[in-house]
Amino acid sequence: MGRAAQRSEPVLYNRLAVMRAERGLSRQELADALDVNYQTIGYLERGEYNPSLDLALRAAEYFAVPVEAIFSRKPFTPMSEQLYGGARG
């Protein structure tokens, strides 16, 4: 999950790291696909940079999911919790 953006920028959480890991992509490969520098992927994943609308839409298009599945203004719940529920023993 993306860490909250620093400075005075609005907080934007994202699932880029999870989605990239699920697909077995390196940062460089994702950067190539989104036409950005590989470091920008790292800053995005750490929540230290908020993407433009264009870049967010390109990411959504690349992963073939709605943009709100990747970026959110509220923290994401873990995917396992979403899939299997949060109930414990």
Interface ranges with other proteins (CB under 8 A): 17, 26-28, 31-32, 34-40, 42-43, 45-46, 48-49, 51-52, 54-55
Q: Which is nearer to other proteins, 10 or 87 (CB)?
A: 10
Q: How far is the CB of 84 from other proteins (least distance, A)?
A: 25
Structure tokens at 39: 């470091």
Q: How far is the CB of 85 from other proteins (least distance, A)?
A: 28
Q: How far is the CB of 76 from other proteins (least distance, A)?
A: 18
Whole-angstrom CA distances from 12 to 30, 34, 44, 46, 76 are 19, 19, 10, 10, 10
Q: At what angle do helices 38-45 and 27-34 cross, to 10 degrees?
A: 110
